[in-house]
Structure 1
């Protein structure tokens, strides 16, 4: 029996349940297009048995349904959220907050020391003033010496002492001024220190307490990871640099602007930016096949006149529902994530934190695009192919540079992996554009209108006033029709290089090289005919 008792005593026994209260802060954040997933990691040393881990400082808006908890070193048996009647929190200043408070204390001491020095210097001013007042009293005293010699001696003494007291007063005033000249800088330093502390310690927001019931089968560290969604977003921004020359290339410097309104600062977090959209559509749309019917034309007309009196169910609702439930266009490609190599701090409700991502280089084809019907100059363009394995995201803000010089701002359209894109880099003042409808006085050419026909001659011109040769792409829109009875004929001299450019009907392009001090003209003759009694619109 005694041996059995000793054997049982040698077995590991669970310790009594303990409660661990741990302060937490965001340690990692993944930001999507419209929200963020915030993660807090905490570590505690526990013994064998059941325990309770309490995090008293989660944001109050954290929702139990979207909260996710994972453990290493223990098993999670339950969670509880509580956001009212919370116990008081201990002071837990971070190293940054402590340093900010120390800077404030140092700045306040410096101001106090300056005031003390100024006060000490002011004592000399007061002493000199008292001496002068005394000397002035002597000069007007009724008990002056009676003999000329004594009176002269008194006058010399008063003069010398007055000069000495005045010099002492002026010197003391200068010392006071020199001391107080430093006060604005010290006051500014104090204000900066206070501002830094405010940035590090936003007003205390209501908190939520999270209690985790855990069970550990062996003693050691337990790592708890708590994740929840929060209000945040990010958007790309670019610097687009064109380097001209024989080896022309375009560089895309990518950065991200991050916005967060979570009510708490993200201090030294691991930040990941994602192009995925977990909050978007996650299930396929319903299909409502259209119901087609035929009927008497007169009945159809009557039905249309009385349409306002019909019920919603009688108005071909399936077709209308099909339109409203059509899925919105989404980028057809894989999502991309960017994890920053270093931790970052993003203050809540800030204007936007900018982080640099990377730079991409592409070989570029440089040319001039001319649109005489809209512009008076051609524009510098560069075309490149996205040779990366990831899409280039759209950006509302992009700064464009040519050979290192900033030329303006632009937007940037999305480009899929392997796709081709063209970027504009501002006007080319040397390439002047004109578009003219030729006058009727030029013989049988010109603008002729009849009741059912229209003939028009248009001349497009590109003039190169500079000393550089340019590859030019000239664009013009010629009319097109979707009605069989509306006939359109046109021809151009010289002949167009491409028609229906980018599958846009009527968009026509001429490609040519324009040498320095040269002019290229394109003449377009178009004839339009339509049935008698109709009007061209």
Structure 2
């Protein structure tokens, strides 16, 4: 009877072994769920992962709101785990929804194993690979159990002397070979999965901190509710970046405003709603009082040094490294997401609310998103300041510029060519226009640059200084252009110093853009045409005095 049972068991085919292996795989995988839940040693309510409801990013820090459900009724302790070690503990506040009550709040820092378990929380790729590796490990354990079962069964049948053992030796060998091959194949998959996990962890968007903050809140509620935790955390920031594109043929100008976001708070923000604020919380919040001089007389002359308290410097910008977005394929007939950013001006504080959920890892990489676009017709001209540089530059007006956009870097493209980088400053660009690089087709030549000095008068002798400058501008374009030339006139700050200036042709504007002493000529210059501008200034002052500039 035992021999027949052994023969029946030994004659199990490969399909049976695979079925047995699958059953053992399920059994082997069951304890893993318990281990992952019990890793923190918390109750089910405490082990729940808090959800980030909103992140507002400033310069140098962020304000975070997290929510955690309160399940059941009665008194319990709710734990917000895996929080940044850089939390400003004084900024913590807890808000209970509905009729829930809040008791004492405990804040502690955890290190070691608990911090390591938090390190990759929220990284979907790492979690997926960890699950894959866990399944392979369970499958390998099941195969090893099947091998041990076969080995034990073989030993049991060797006690009998039934002749059927010899007849089934080949079946035993075949099944053992199949199990060994399966174990080898699973071990190879295990090695590949472990390598893939190691690579993900090596380049994962994770915290490099060795500790985490945990906030425990004592609550009481008769019905399920929600608990919200608000706090500020340092190590986050954003900066604006602009791109201006000019088409000199159609005279169309477009400006795109982007926000470059990065954070190294120790928390990975995955698919969270983000608001960007132009406030810099590190700047001074109060104005200074005027300085009052306190005068006294000394018998001997002494040098008095007045020390004034200098204003607080702005915090250093967050260093960031850029990353690229990839677009996933949309489901058939599904509506496309709306990426239009809404902005709100709150008495000088601009808030940009991103419409899509954003993932910002805590490794300092740069996440870039468009926050605004402006475009329209522009007025073009070519500007030259020949007394400083015998060159000319393209300029464009931007009547649609908005003061809501804060200062930032400005990349410039003219006719689809990158021509350089400038600075976006609303006031400056509104007054002077946007420069789009040098124009090699406008030739600027200096004709005259001479100074003459002399004296006149017998009793009241005066010194005279006469300066003459002349420049020629030649348009090499195949079309006419608008040319603007900037020059200057000496300014007298002494009643005994007389200044006389003659311009040919007459200037179009004096004190250009409210800049005293700067003059401007503006005229249309046809293709292949030239224009000469000449300025002569005469300065007269008493011969017994020296002339000092600036």
**In the alignment, structure 1 residue 434 sits paired with structure 2 residue 456:** no
Q: CA deviation at 1:188?
A: 11
Closer, same or farther in 2 for the Cα pair 1:471/1:188, shift >3 Å?
farther
Alignment TM-score, normalising by the size of structure 1: 0.68
1:356 aligns with one of 357, 370, 377? 370
Equivalences for 1:183-198 in 2 at 5 Å? 194-198=198-202
CA contact (8 A) 2:383 2:395 kept: yes
Closer, same or farther in 2 for the Cα pair 1:90/1:202, shift >3 Å?
closer
Q: Give 2:507's aligned residue.
A: 496
Cα distance in 2 for residues equivalent to 1:34 and 1:414: 23
Closer, same or farther in 2 for the Cα pair 1:533/1:470, shift >3 Å?
same
Cα distance in 1 for residues equivalent to 2:294 and 2:542: 36
Cα distance in 2 for residues equivalent to 1:188 and 1:502: 68
CA contact (8 A) 1:46 1:222 kept: no
Q: CA deviation at 1:41?
A: 2.1
Q: CA deviation at 1:284?
A: 3.3
Q: Give 1:30's aligned residue.
A: 56
Closer, same or farther in 2 for the Cα pair 1:370/1:103, shift >3 Å?
farther
3-state SS of the aligned residue for 1:352?
strand
**In the alignment, structure 1 residue 61 sits paired with structure 2 residue 96:** no
Cα distance in 1 for residues equivalent to 2:76 and 2:126: 32
Q: Give 1:377's aligned residue.
A: 391
**In the alignment, structure 1 residue 97 sits paired with structure 2 residue 102:** no
Q: Give 1:535's aligned residue.
A: 546
**In the alignment, structure 1 residue 458 sits paired with structure 2 residue 469:** yes
Closer, same or farther in 2 for the Cα pair 1:518/1:103, shift >3 Å?
farther
Closer, same or farther in 2 for the Cα pair 1:83/1:197, shift >3 Å?
closer
Q: CA deviation at 1:19?
A: 6.9
Describe the superposition over 1:141-195 as per-residue Cα deviations: whole angstroms up to 9, x where unpaired: xxxxxxxxxxxxxxxxxxxxxxxxxxxxxxxxxxxxxxxxxxxxxx999877643
3-state SS of the aligned residue for 1:20?
helix
1:208 aligns with one of 213, 219, 223? 213
Query: Which ranges of structure 1 fall in alignment gaps of 5 or more residues?
Result: 1-16, 109-186, 308-314, 439-445
3-state SS of the aligned residue for 2:90?
coil
CA contact (8 A) 1:392 1:415 kept: no
Q: Give 1:255's aligned residue.
A: 258
Cα distance in 2 for residues equivalent to 1:225 and 1:375: 60
Closer, same or farther in 2 for the Cα pair 1:326/1:487, shift >3 Å?
farther
Equivalences for 1:163-242 in 2 at 5 Å? 194-198=198-202, 199-203=204-208, 205-216=210-221, 218-242=222-246
Q: CA deviation at 1:69?
A: 1.9
Closer, same or farther in 2 for the Cα pair 1:425/1:104, shift >3 Å?
farther
Closer, same or farther in 2 for the Cα pair 1:238/1:80, shift >3 Å?
same
Query: Which ranges of structure 2 fall in alignment gaps of 5 or more residues?
Result: 1-42, 138-190, 315-344, 456-462
Q: CA deviation at 1:89?
A: 7.8
Equivalences for 1:300-311 in 2 at 5 Å? 302-303=300-301, 306-307=302-303
Closer, same or farther in 2 for the Cα pair 1:437/1:384, shift >3 Å?
same
Describe the superposition over 1:237-291 as per-residue Cα deviations: whole angstroms up to 9, x where unpaired: 1110112345x23211111111212123222221111112333322332234334
Equivalences for 1:10-29 in 2 at 5 Å? 20-24=46-50, 26-29=52-55
1:393 aligns with one of 403, 406, 409? 406
3-state SS of the aligned residue for 2:363?
coil
Describe the superposition over 1:364-395 as per-residue Cα deviations: whole angstroms up to 9, x where unpaired: 1111111112233311100122465x522211
3-state SS of the aligned residue for 1:447?
strand
**In the alignment, structure 1 residue 79 sits paired with structure 2 residue 116:** no
Question: Bigger CA drift: 370-379 or 423-432?
Answer: 370-379
3-state SS of the aligned residue for 1:406?
strand
Q: Give 1:521's aligned residue.
A: 532
Describe the superposition over 1:302-340 as per-residue Cα deviations: whole angstroms up to 9, x where unpaired: 42xx33xxxxxxx485xx43xx356989x9961111111
Q: CA deviation at 1:50?
A: 2.9
CA contact (8 A) 1:437 1:447 kept: no
Q: CA deviation at 1:528?
A: 1.0
Figure out how many residues of one structure are paired with residues of the other and give that number: 412
**In the alignment, structure 1 residue 342 sits paired with structure 2 residue 356:** yes
Q: CA deviation at 1:26?
A: 4.4
3-state SS of the aligned residue for 2:273?
strand
CA contact (8 A) 1:26 1:40 kept: yes
Q: Give 1:179's aligned residue.
A: none
The structure number with the bigger radius of gyration is 1
Cα distance in 1 for residues equivalent to 2:63 and 2:416: 39
Equivalences for 1:467-486 in 2 at 5 Å? 467-486=478-497
Closer, same or farther in 2 for the Cα pair 1:503/1:361, shift >3 Å?
same
Alignment TM-score, normalising by the size of structure 2: 0.66
CA contact (8 A) 2:86 2:233 kept: no
CA contact (8 A) 2:499 2:539 kept: yes
1:403 aligns with one of 391, 403, 415? 415
CA contact (8 A) 2:243 2:412 kept: yes
Cα distance in 2 for residues equivalent to 1:332 and 1:344: 24
Question: Bigger CA drift: 518-527 or 256-265?
Answer: 256-265
Closer, same or farther in 2 for the Cα pair 1:475/1:107, shift >3 Å?
farther
Q: CA deviation at 1:91?
A: 5.8
Closer, same or farther in 2 for the Cα pair 1:536/1:191, shift >3 Å?
farther
Cα distance in 2 for residues equivalent to 1:509 and 1:65: 57
3-state SS of the aligned residue for 2:388?
coil
